[in-house]
Amino acid sequence: MKSAVPTLEIKNTCSHKEYLHLAIPLVISGISTPLLGAVDTAVVGRLPDPASIGGVAIGAVIFNTMYWLLGFLRVSTSGFTSQAEGLKDQKEVLLSFFRPMTMAVLFGVLFLLFQVPILQISLYLIGGNEAVSDIAASYFSIRIWGAPFVLLSYVMIGWLIGMGKVRLALATQIFMNVLNILLDFIFVLGLGMGVVGVAFATLISEVTAVLFGAIVIFQGVRTDLKDLRLRMLVELEPLRRMFKVNRDLFLRTVCLLAMTIIFTSKGASMGEVILAANAILLQIHYIIAYLFGGFANASSILVGRSIGSKNRLLYKRTFYLSAQWGLASAILLSLVILSWGQEAVALFTTIKEVQAAANDQLIWMVIFPILGFWGLQLEGIFSGATQAGQIRDSILLALLLFLPVIWLTTPVLGNTGIWLSFILFSSARSFFLSLYIPKLERNGFGNRVKDLLSHQNIQSPN
Query: pLDDT 10s digit of each residue in the chain, 462 long?
Result: 444 434 445 456 788 888 888 888 888 776 766 666 667 767 777 776 677 777 887 787 788 778 877 878 888 888 888 888 777 767 777 888 888 888 899 999 999 999 999 988 888 877 667 778 888 888 889 989 999 998 998 888 888 888 878 788 778 888 888 888 889 889 887 887 888 888 899 899 989 988 888 887 777 665 555 666 556 666 667 777 788 888 898 899 889 888 988 998 898 889 888 988 998 898 888 888 888 888 888 898 888 888 877 888 888 899 999 999 999 999 999 999 999 999 989 988 888 898 999 999 999 999 999 999 999 999 999 988 888 899 999 999 999 999 999 999 999 999 999 999 999 999 999 999 999 998 888 877 764 444 444 444 433 333
- Distance between CA atoms of residues 54 and 136, nearest Å: 8
- Distance between CA atoms of residues 22 and 122, nearest Å: 38
Q: Furthest-apart CA pair in the chain: how many Å?
A: 65
- Distance between CA atoms of residues 166 and 117, nearest Å: 38
Q: Where are the domains of the chain?
A: 16-456
Q: How far apart are the first and last CA of the chain?
A: 23
Nearest to 304 by CA among 161, 90, 165: 161
**What pTM does this model have?**
0.75
Q: What share of the chain is helix, strand, coil (3-state, %, to 5)?
A: 85, 0, 15
